[in-house]
Amino acid sequence: MTVERLSVFMTGAGGGMGYESFKQMLPDLGRLYDLVILVRDSEKNRNLFEKHQGTPGLTIRYGDLLNADDVAFCVKNSDMCLHIAAFVSPKADYYPEKAMKNNYGSTRNIIEAVRDCGKNDTYKFVYIGTVAETGDRMPPIHWGRVGDPIKPSMFDYYAVSKVASERYVIESGLRYWVSLRQTGIMGPAMAKIRDAIQFHNCLENVLEYVSDRDSGRAMRNLAAFDAEGSLDESFWRHIYNIGGGESCRVSTLEMYEKMYGELGFRTLDPVIEPKYNATRNFHGQYYLDSDKLEEYLHFRSDSMQYFYDAYLDELGSSRGAAKVMTKFPLGQKLMGSIIRKTFKPLLESEHGTKHWLDENMEDHIEAYWGSRKAWEAVPQKFSDMKRFTDWDKVIRLDHGYDETKPESELDYSDMKGAASFRGGELVSEEMTKGDWETKLRFRCAFGHEFDASPRLVLEGGHWCPECERKSWNYGNRAKVDPFFAQVWKPLHDDDEIREYPKVVSELDV
């Protein structure tokens, strides 16, 4: 008897994580599984994929994820989707409507195609979310986990689009879904970034990075383990953080010290001007729970050294010249001034921190520093910064219910207490014990009623969709929502109550 191979539909195969996944999956094609990819018809993609035409087990479709016919073809001819494609930052910062249209629209199209094919109970949907969904987690609350409050940073429309998309996935009704929140991806592409966003990244921000190669390995292993029957059923219907583990945890300062140290700088004073780096409102955290995904997919191999090597490769011969120059008297100062000149156009661009300050853009100044007064207090010199040192101290957030209970024991009283801890109430009068999937009716502190599953609220950290899509109203929310206050009050003053309207939501797609 012939057993049909698993057929995998991959989106975003022409992107950084997607192409690494594609390369690592190639040796398995026609053996463990077949692969269908949907990529835009561009010169870049033709150059990447035309040489693979005719590979046994590979189907290449040139098209668009926003085209229903293209998506329907791929879903009809597959059993699993690795939805890696996304319109990401920094481009998403410039085109928020396009970010929402592409990220939410593509996710909705795929799931609708699954429903139209009648595959709700068999199709496996792997969604790639982002660490940006939980936003700014500066010290001392720099350790986090799945279930912590959803809190995309102000003006981060990539995160906003991914929050809406993840909510759609979790509440899709599919039997097999998983959301993998991707962290910062390190590698050659990260070493090439030249954009104002690098100054949005706070100097004392932290990230638990993962390499592009390890991300690709995670996708390959997920498909391979499922094809072999070794991926445990318990993997599905959950949210996981993708992180590289301890060897990939680093603060921005530590990363800069390593990078510029390779050029001979003994201090960052000649290079870094602290006043032009934001002190809040980026995204990142060290993960308390990223080992969970590693236990399923066994994908980790790289450390931060992989990125440092890519950075040095990107510098090429200029690295040697810099190392020579920094050995001479005043050489570090001269080399630092050269590097700073390359920063100037970025800082003065539309999304540059210096531009916001020069134009007195109060909403951006408050979002990224707290106030003009707070910005003025930032030292001129890097060496005058008071540095945080207690990196290993964990402040574990309260999720508002007894997490020691087995999932099967979750009951009405747990959900009622969780809703109250979020400043709202449970409107539904009953729930089935142990049912994490059926939606319940809730009311938030601002009076909005909405439906949400326990999985979305407790494991996802999501709450009121109306509050989420309307604005960033975090200061006022923290006054009435003890759950959310845990990620706001440690980093903000009580009088920080500016509401930032959003220009787009998933309802516009």
For residues 447, 453, 455 and 461, what is the CA-based torsion angle, rounded to 10 degrees?
Answer: -20
Is the four-CA dihedral 250, 256, 262, 264 of positive or negative sign?
negative
In the chain, which residues fall in CATH 3.40.50.720? 6-186+210-246+290-303
d(CA 505, CA 165): 11
pLDDT of residue 329: 82
Return the ∠ at Cα 401 (arms to 400 and 405), rounded to 5°: 155
Count of residues making up the chain: 509
Q: Tokens 């039997």 appear where?
A: 175
Residues 6+ apart with CB under 8 A from 410: 401, 433, 434, 435, 436, 454, 458
Output the pLDDT for position 56. 96
Nearest to 183 by CA among 308, 66, 315, 304: 304
Contact 196, 323 (CB under 8 A): no
- Residue 21 CA to residue 222 CA, distance in Å, equals 11
Contact present, 412 and 430 (Cβ < 8 Å): yes
What are the C-alpha distances in Å from 58 to residues 22, 42, 244? 10, 19, 30
Give the CA radius of gyration of the chain: 23
- pTM assigned to the model: 0.96
Walking along the chain (509 residues) 10 residues at a time, the average pLDDT comes out as 79 96 97 97 96 96 97 98 96 95 98 97 98 98 98 98 98 98 96 94 97 98 97 97 98 96 94 96 98 98 96 91 90 94 96 97 98 97 94 98 96 98 98 98 98 98 97 98 98 96 97
Q: Return d(Cα 340, Cα 336) in angstroms, integer.
A: 6
- CA 455, CA 118: separation in Å to the nearest integer? 24
φ, ψ of residue 413 in degrees (nearest 5): -65, -35
Q: How many CA atoms lie within 13 A of 249 on its CB side?
A: 12
CATH superfamily of 6-186+210-246+290-303: NAD(P)-binding Rossmann-like Domain (3.40.50.720)
pLDDT score of 3: 53
Distance separating alpha carbons of residues 405 and 426, to the nearest angstrom: 20
What pLDDT, on the 0 to 100 scale, is given for residue 4? 80
Q: For the chain, what is the largest distance between any 2 Cα atoms, rounded to a whole number of angstroms?
A: 78
Number of H helices, E strands in the chain: 21, 18
502 close to 372: Cβ distance less than 8 angstroms: no
The gap between the terminal CA atoms of the chain, to the nearest Å, is 46
Cα–Cα distance between 378 and 385 in angstroms, integer? Answer: 8
Other beta carbons within 10 Å of 299 = 23
Phi-psi region of 183 (alpha: psi -120 to 50; beta: other; left: phi over 0): beta
62: its two tokens: 């040139």
Using CA atoms, how far residue 385 sits from 121, 198, 299, 335, in Å, is 55, 19, 37, 22
The answer to whether 55 and 61 have CB atoms below 8 angstroms apart is: no
22 closest CA partner among 200, 293, 212: 212
Separation between Cα atoms, residue 220 and residue 31, nearest integer Å: 13
